[in-house]
Structure 1
Amino acid sequence: MLKFIYVNPTTGSDTNSGSQQAPLKTITQALKQSASGTKIQLAEDNYNATNGEVFPLIVPFGVTIIGNEDNRGNGIVINGSGRHLSHIFGAQNVSLVLNSGVRLRGITVTNSASRGTAVWIESSSPTVVNCTFINSEREGILVTGNANPTIKDNIFTQNSANGISITKNSSGEIIGNSCFQTGFGISISDNANPILIDNKIYANRSGIVVSGDARPVLRENRCENNIQDGLTVVANALPDIGNSRSPGNNIFDNNGQFDIQNASINKLISIDNQVKVVNVNGNIQFFADPEPEPEAELESETEKILQPKPQITISNLTDINGHWAAEYIQELIQLDIVKGFPNRTFRADATITRSQYAALLVKAFNPLSLQQPIEFEDIKKSFWAYQAIKQAYQGKLVSLYPGKKFLPHQNIPRIQVIVSLANGLALTSKIEIDLNIYRDSNQIPNDARSQVSAATQNQLIVNYPNIEKLNPNRAATRAEVAVMVYQVLVLIGKAREIDSPYIVSC
């Protein structure tokens, strides 16, 4: 049964029961009494060290903190900072640390300490909705490690560094937020691959800054009236701002320097975004969203961005010679399972979304129906990959998130590919395998260990460049997915075996 705890700094006491009639005084005390499923209701007030709070507030698994969602936490203010020891970044000044399953709803958070972060999300999957993050000395929310949060309908303003920082191998959904009058609206770095949908990013120093090897997906965002750039891309970053089956529909307009500034080593492909070509800088190619062919609902950007030229081979692909997965890609092209792009590239190291992956599975295996269809909560029947996702689901090749959600635009992690292929083939381990052969075996989710063991035994797993690192929570690349799908074809006798030092064998 769910437990409610009420907190009121003015009328409460930490010796009270925490009922509505006898509230606690501090969130700190409420968290000590909380377990998964607990809901902590905050009264309109200030929650700070003067009133007895001890920072950082570490919110345990499955706990919900509720303020007032109707006004995004106006008048319900958590303001404080404490030293949090991050496994990745060491000691940090943080207001709240959110574990998986946590829900933060309708509160305002401020961290005015030097380099202060309001909310720290590290390798966890919480949900933050209808909150306000204001006047922090660094950022409103920092997402790092292998985190996969949902950050939706929040306000980020007047933070010194960034509204939201997304780093390391994090993913997640960043939806419907407003970032304004802050440093960078959203900063995405390292190998992060979140999806950004319908965010309004304006009047910041820069709007969205993508760096490192980040591979975010941007859809229906507005980046306008920022002092410098609307979208800045540097280093080896490569954001997806539209493809033929999923147009970008982003607006980049009236930014001080450039609407899009591509200073990366990659060509940026823009499909169906609102942006003036004269206001961009760097290697950017623009396409209008093409009309799909009648049969295109079973094909995906995994196979093509625009209508590809027929018979594309390794010899005329410009970016595949010498690639570690080149021979696998060649074989899949000859089997008409994958194709190159019209600009003679394959983009082997780009990421792949869950909808693109489902379409590839259908193309490769044409699975039979093994379970009843369902109505997906987040996919319309008009969506380009609807039929492919439905067939892949009925064939038990893909799974859902809670609430019958598929999250079609989310980049698929490697662990989901491995589990998908192992489950689709109903693989089991004939012998017990010590998963410590992977140096990062501690990152394998407990409910996926049997599938990883079976996939390892059947030589379905590819680890590049270090065969001893599984990287289960990193977004899979097109090359990695191609090789693992090819290994399934080998296993079922539909393709020849290819020697590779990156296929795990035990």
Structure 2
Amino acid sequence: MVNSALVITLYINPITGNDNNTGSRLSPFKSLTRALKVTKIPTIIHLESGTYSAATGEVFPLIIPEGAIVVGKEASKGAEIVISGSGEYQSRSFGIQNITLLLLDNVNLLGVTVTNPSSKGTGIWIESAAPTLANNTLRDCGREGVFSTGTAKPAILDNIFVQNTASGLVMAGHSQGEVLRNVFERNRLGIALSDFAKPTIANNKLSENRTAIALSRNAQPILRQNLIAHSTQGGLLVNGNAIPDLGNIQDSADNIFRDNSEFDLYNATTKKLISVGNQLNPALVKGLCEFISADEVAVNTRLSEATTESSSQKLPAPVQLDAHWAEPFIQALVSMNLTHCFADGNYQPNKPMSRAQYASLVAIAFNPFPKISAPDFTDVPKDFWAYNAIQIAASGGFVGGFSDRTFRPDRHVQRLQVIVSLVNGLGLPLANNDVLEIYSDRHTIPDYARKAVATATQKKIIVNYPDSKLLAPSRLATCAEVAAMVYQALVAIGRTSAIKSVYVGLHSRT
């Protein structure tokens, strides 16, 4: 068995620190620049309140090395911790740029404010890397808050982008990744996508921007459950050969366009866009667009189910997943008759899973023996579609409620919550933490969950797509990911046979 990789922790205080100090909690450095010179091994850097600028010894741009975790104050989105400055960076894709921070691979930037006062300044530059940005504020940058390019795959989660002169977020090149639950306010462009960018953009709030989302060239983002409102010009602008995914019959997009000035959707291309389940004002739609309402989706689903039921009473019909990576796991659950627990009978693999859906799935998959008395959650009435399943899952130790006696059935579950739930619910014996070394982002696992994650890893319950070594514990779990992990849990307790997949978590090495 191998030991965990060495990790050092450094502390920075721009007010009371000194760069001749040791960088400990009691003897902090003054500048982030000094901390970045100390070591190249994985490092956790704690930033205290204050302004980090040239006046306090910072030399820009600040290059955050691979695997580093920079932690400020996530609860306030970094309001008290301001990194402000600009320096030249030679981008492989765009030449010389003025940037504040460059994030290399597997960096975690948590709870800071970044601003670049230069007239053509970018706050954070990401080039062919896969960092995580969570609970930060990107504001008052001379150009954009974040620029992603090359083959970057960032996770941009729960941040605030406000009053950036050109754009809140730009994604170019072949950027992919996820843009989830962010707020974009009072930027010229909230989100600008170009080249071959293909991120998933979901559950964001875009308000009071000139244009909320602008697409050009060959951009193909997936847009789901975003609120796009009060734009001074318009909501979604589509140029060039861009084709946004605005939903399909199997996966309603559910974006809400509200109170935009000139247009909700402006399709300036020659190709017809298909909008499924989005709330738009038809009078504010320009260009070729076909609308399919949420009601039509429901009718089509019911007709499809009726046809399936009448044509075969023996086994559920296969789910049409178009070679989805999780197809073997989902079809296996379908064949075991474990997916009928959803209220609409429709398993949509790429959507985040709600707590009610998760409770329903584990209740029917594991039929747990009651360990405790399930509480009567104040927000789950007895006529709620998942009431019985939630009671079974709660009494079996798979799910719990909140201190105010609510269950919050519509809230989405995180990947870490699923992993901990399966280990606790099944009562699996806990494994040694050394197995966590296989994950490139292992330092983002909270202390309370490390044993559970290690156990799930050892039992091959964890499924990581698209990178088997990237755990992404705080990311919302999709229905596909939950299906795969529930199936692997069934394998772990001997209920079914294993499915070979390159995305199944690895065993510890010896």
Paired with 2:265 and 2:73, the residues of 1 have a C-alpha distance of 37
Paired with 2:192 and 2:274, the residues of 1 have a C-alpha distance of 20
2:271 aligned with 1:266: yes
Residue 50 of structure 1 is matched in structure 2 by 55
CA 398–209 in structure 1, closer or farther in 2 if over 3 Å, else same = closer
TM-score after normalising by structure 2: 0.63
* CA deviations over 1:122-178 (Å, ceiling 9, x no partner): 100000011111110000000100000001111111111000000010001001111
2:141 aligned with 1:136: yes
Of residues 466, 471, 485, the one that matches 1:402 is 471
Q: Is the 8 A contact 2:153 2:175 kept in 1?
A: yes
CA 301–162 in structure 1, closer or farther in 2 if over 3 Å, else same = farther
Shift of 1:403: 5.3
Paired with 2:479 and 2:240, the residues of 1 have a C-alpha distance of 24
Paired with 2:198 and 2:284, the residues of 1 have a C-alpha distance of 26
Shift of 1:277: 1.1
Q: Is the 8 A contact 2:143 2:166 kept in 1?
A: yes
Q: Is the 8 A contact 2:50 2:82 kept in 1?
A: yes
Paired with 1:184 and 1:36, the residues of 2 have a C-alpha distance of 38
Paired with 1:204 and 1:250, the residues of 2 have a C-alpha distance of 17
Of residues 213, 228, 240, the one that matches 2:245 is 240
Shift of 1:2: 3.0
Residue 451 of structure 2 is matched in structure 1 by none
Q: Is the 8 A contact 1:162 1:185 kept in 2?
A: yes
CA 16–297 in structure 1, closer or farther in 2 if over 3 Å, else same = farther
Listed as ranges, the gaps of 5+ residues in structure 2 are 1-5, 309-315, 337-349, 363-459, 481-498
2:15 aligned with 1:14: no
Shift of 1:362: 8.0
Paired with 1:84 and 1:235, the residues of 2 have a C-alpha distance of 29
Shift of 1:409: 9.0
Q: Is the 8 A contact 2:102 2:126 kept in 1?
A: yes
Of residues 88, 92, 95, the one that matches 2:93 is 88
Residue 145 of structure 1 is matched in structure 2 by 150
User: Equivalent residue of 1:201, what SS?
Assistant: strand
Paired with 2:208 and 2:195, the residues of 1 have a C-alpha distance of 25
Paired with 2:219 and 2:26, the residues of 1 have a C-alpha distance of 50
User: Equivalent residue of 1:259, what SS?
Assistant: strand
Shift of 1:34: 3.6
Q: Is the 8 A contact 2:124 2:147 kept in 1?
A: yes
2:108 aligned with 1:103: yes
Q: Which amino acid aligns with 2:53?
A: N
Q: Which amino acid aligns with 2:198?
A: N
Residue 168 of structure 1 is matched in structure 2 by 173
Residue 306 of structure 1 is matched in structure 2 by none
2:297 aligned with 1:282: no
Shift of 1:267: 1.1
Paired with 2:90 and 2:212, the residues of 1 have a C-alpha distance of 29
Paired residue total: 353
How much is the aligned-residue C-alpha RMSD, in angstroms? 3.6
Paired with 2:59 and 2:73, the residues of 1 have a C-alpha distance of 22
Paired with 1:216 and 1:281, the residues of 2 have a C-alpha distance of 19
* CA deviations over 1:248-286 (Å, ceiling 9, x no partner): 110011111101111122211111111111111110101
Paired with 2:71 and 2:464, the residues of 1 have a C-alpha distance of 37
Shift of 1:242: 1.0
2:209 aligned with 1:196: no
Listed as ranges, the gaps of 5+ residues in structure 1 are 303-354, 369-375, 388-392, 411-423, 428-446, 448-506
Paired with 1:173 and 1:255, the residues of 2 have a C-alpha distance of 25
Shift of 1:113: 0.9
Q: Is the 8 A contact 1:358 1:398 kept in 2?
A: no
2:240 aligned with 1:220: no
Paired with 2:317 and 2:170, the residues of 1 have a C-alpha distance of 35
Q: Is the 8 A contact 2:352 2:479 kept in 1?
A: no
Residue 453 of structure 1 is matched in structure 2 by none
Residue 82 of structure 2 is matched in structure 1 by 77
Q: Which amino acid aligns with 1:132?
A: T
Q: Is the 8 A contact 1:377 1:403 kept in 2?
A: no
Shift of 1:426: 10
